[in-house]
Amino acid sequence: MNEPTKTQPRIGVYICHCGTNIAGVVDCKAVAETAAQYPNVVVSRDYKYMCSDPGQALIQQDIKEHKLDRIVVSSCSPLLHEHTFRGACEKGGLNPYCFQMVNIREHDSWVHEKGAAATDKAKDLTRAAVSRVAHHKPLETKTTPIHPDVMIVGGGIAGIQAALTLANAGQHVYLVEREPTIGGYMAKFDKTFPTLDCAACILTPKMSAVGAHPNITLWTYSEVAKVDGFVGNYKVVVKRKPRYIIEDLCVGCNECVTACVFKEGKFEDEFNMGLSKRKPVYMPFPQATPPIVLIDPETCINVKTGKCKKTCVEACGDRQAIDFTQKAEMKEVQVGTIILATGFQPFDAKRIPQYGYGIYPNVYTSLEIERLVNASGPTEGHVVLRDGKTKPKSVGIVHCVGSRDNKTHRWCSRVCCMYSMKLAHLIKHHTDAEVFNFYIDIRAPGKGYEEFYEKLQEEGVHFIRGRVAEVTDWQMSKEEEGKLVIRVEDTLAGFVRRIPVDMVVLAVGLEPHADSQDVRRQFNISCSTEGWFLERHPKLAPVNTFTDGIFIAGACQGPKDIPDTVAQAGAAAAEALSLIKAGSIELEPNTAFVVAEECSGCKTCIPMCPYTAISRDDVKKVAVINEALCKGCGTCVAACPSGAIKQNLFDDDEITSEIEAILAK
């Protein structure tokens, strides 16, 4: 191994062309030639692709041939290839931390015009790295063990899929769901596009598998209250809200529901989007998992006043599953990895008042129609108007409600075109009504999707291209009487049309949960500006986040349909599994340490550390940093008035030499 010498470092510099990505803007040859003149540089080369095998081999060969003890590679972002080049150094027999990477692609060639300024910048940045790397010291890679248990937050199809994959691989999974049952939005759907297979038929077997799996601890009606720790070693506190039912004792017989003092349902049934009524004690839906009732504290007379005949308790009898004294319970668990599958919320159609939702009774959201066409829904599958009996003769489906709209959300929600066509098919099938789709573009890019669009056209569903301006009850002709009128510019025909219909369906888009910012802060991950959870890399690390050990799956990362969600959930499970099977993960050795002889024991650093890694040795009267707790932010290093705290990879002499050289001309 070439041990770096203190006196005369031998540095190798490599300038990557990245095809034309860098070389198209930066004169790589000139940068390499200039770099050859920098102090201590023994070899300086430019090469087409440094990250390729021959590129890496070049470094390894030079280390041996020229006895190099420091390497600088000017190429892309260190977040992308630092690991690759450290590996190349190691293979060449050099300590991987005697390496410095320069970002002349993302920070230079991709953001600047071709010319001298871009090349100068590449030279400056490379000179700074050459100067910095001379101060690098060989370091040891640290590893931390990975706890084998996994927590999954969110019990929609993404969470269910990830949980089953991991549990089947033998890992213990804690599945936490906010609602009283798992299943998410998929459980509300009737059919799924484009195959029209019944959503319940494909989902409920998975739900029961989760409920019955010996490796899955299912906590519904629960929320994550606190997350501490780091990859491999997270401590999560879960709040289990009281459902006033002892889960182990309830068998889901529903006798308490029948016996409730409310003879009829009186309160909005969330599962049916408020289209039916439920009692204070209820089962969310027949296939709910776990199949356990719950008591809604907001509406139960006994919870609110304590003055009720408690006919439910009577009906439960010897089982004694009802417990009105139940309190919220905090559960603390250790896990090594966490998968967030918290999904989306539908766009609130009331935000676009000109579409009349909440104003005209016969304007519906797409989720309401999902329940109406569903045989287990409030109308047993009969599509009827709000009066509960009239079959609509004509239905207009408005696409892109809260999508592709600068006033609400700019993004395409990806599923609305397809589910609108699915609903068009189902409505036509159930009522034989004339169905009009009002669309901007039909987006059907999936397996069998375009074919489904063609099928709909053949079925006689009408497609009118144009964003709907307004839904109104202002009638201008006899044929519009008693109807809702959709005003739209038909951009194919080239004129404004008024189309009278009995029922309007608003195809609402997908948006991040209202509390997505709180959730991502809790888990220390990032969000895109829209509020979707941010993946580590949009193409190559789509389920990873910037926080090691935390993965994302499904619509919490961005709108996606069921096949994509399931695929992503599998990917997240595989990523978690790969950490678990490796047993440990390498950590950056960029921790801080105290040079005891220089420490005055002033304690300035102690409150700087968010991880309480610093304490004071009262005998020696100096600060001590617990390396295992240090995450390497360097805040204490900057605060130390005597310069007694050093940080690996980001020490003062490394950073100051970088500053000096970046400005040298």
Give the footprint of another protein on this chain (CB under 8 A).
77-79, 103, 105-108, 110-113, 117-118, 120-121, 124-125, 128, 521, 524, 526-529, 534, 538, 546-547, 590, 608, 610-611, 631-635, 637-639, 647, 650, 652, 655-656, 658-660, 662-665
For tokens 């269910």, the residue is 160
Residue 586, strand partner residues: 143
**Which pair of structure tokens corresponds to residue 263?**
């003879």
Task: Decide: helix, strand or coil at residue 91.
Answer: helix
The nearer residue to another protein, 97 or 355, going by C-beta atoms, is: 97
Please, which residues have CB within 8 angstroms of residue 2's CB and are 6 or more apart in sequence?
A: 10, 63, 67, 68, 69, 93, 94
The nearer residue to another protein, 133 or 637, going by C-beta atoms, is: 637
Nearest-approach distance from CB 636 to another protein, in angstroms? 9
Task: Decide: helix, strand or coil at residue 390.
Answer: coil
Q: How far, rounded to the nearest angstrom, does the alpha carbon of residue 311 sit from its chain's CA centroid? A: 44
Nearest-approach distance from CB 608 to another protein, in angstroms? 6
Nearest-approach distance from CB 601 to another protein, in angstroms? 20
Nearest-approach distance from CB 59 to another protein, in angstroms? 21
By residue count, the chain amounts to 665
Nearest-approach distance from CB 224 to another protein, in angstroms? 17
Cα end-to-end distance, the chain, whole Å: 35
The nearer residue to another protein, 376 or 547, going by C-beta atoms, is: 547
The nearer residue to another protein, 139 or 202, going by C-beta atoms, is: 139
Nearest-approach distance from CB 130 to another protein, in angstroms? 14
Of 121, 134, 102, 105, the residue nearest 38 (C-alpha): 134
504 within 8 A of 354, measured Cβ to Cβ: no
DSSP letter for 107, please.
Answer: I
Nearest-approach distance from CB 533 to another protein, in angstroms? 10
What is the H or E stretch that residue 439 is in?
strand 434-439
Nearest-approach distance from CB 77 to another protein, in angstroms? 5
Nearest-approach distance from CB 629 to another protein, in angstroms? 12
Q: How far, rounded to the nearest angstrom, does the alpha carbon of residue 500 sit from its chain's CA centroid? A: 41
The nearer residue to another protein, 108 or 149, going by C-beta atoms, is: 108
DSSP letter for 289, please.
Answer: S
**Mode of pairing for the β-strands spanning 468-472 and 337-340:** unpaired
The nearer residue to another protein, 130 or 281, going by C-beta atoms, is: 130
300 within 8 A of 262, measured Cβ to Cβ: no
Please, which residues have CB within 8 angstroms of residue 318's CB and are 6 or more apart in sequence?
A: none
For tokens 């720790």, the residue is 229
The nearer residue to another protein, 233 or 287, going by C-beta atoms, is: 233
Nearest-approach distance from CB 535 to another protein, in angstroms? 10
Amino acid at 37: Q
**Which pair of structure tokens corresponds to residue 294?**
């719950």
The nearer residue to another protein, 190 or 658, going by C-beta atoms, is: 658
The nearer residue to another protein, 330 or 659, going by C-beta atoms, is: 659
Nearest-approach distance from CB 371 to another protein, in angstroms? 35
Nearest-approach distance from CB 11 to another protein, in angstroms? 19
Please, which residues have CB within 8 angstroms of residue 306's CB and are 6 or more apart in sequence?
A: none
368 within 8 A of 273, measured Cβ to Cβ: yes
CB hemisphere CA count around 477 (13 angstroms): 5
Report phi then psi at 603, rounded to 5. 70, 10
The nearer residue to another protein, 142 or 462, going by C-beta atoms, is: 142
Nearest-approach distance from CB 556 to another protein, in angstroms? 15
Please, which residues have CB within 8 angstroms of residue 440's CB and are 6 or more apart in sequence?
A: 399, 400, 404, 465, 466, 467
Nearest-approach distance from CB 113 to another protein, in angstroms? 7
378 within 8 A of 353, measured Cβ to Cβ: no
The nearer residue to another protein, 171 or 647, going by C-beta atoms, is: 647
The nearer residue to another protein, 65 or 530, going by C-beta atoms, is: 530
Of 285, 519, 631, the residue nearest 533 (C-alpha): 519
122 within 8 A of 31, measured Cβ to Cβ: yes
Give the integer Cα–Cα distance in Å for 240 and 251.
Answer: 19
487 within 8 A of 469, measured Cβ to Cβ: yes
DSSP string, 238-269: EEE---SB-TTT-----HHHHHSS-SS--EE-
DSSP string, 587-639: E----EEE-GGG-----SSGGG-TT--EEEETTTTEEEE-TTT-----HHHHH
Nearest-approach distance from CB 142 to another protein, in angstroms? 15
What is the H or E stretch that residue 29 is in?
helix 28-35
Nearest-approach distance from CB 338 to another protein, in angstroms? 16
Of 159, 185, 516, the residue nearest 366 (C-alpha): 185
The nearer residue to another protein, 301 or 633, going by C-beta atoms, is: 633
The nearer residue to another protein, 127 or 241, going by C-beta atoms, is: 127
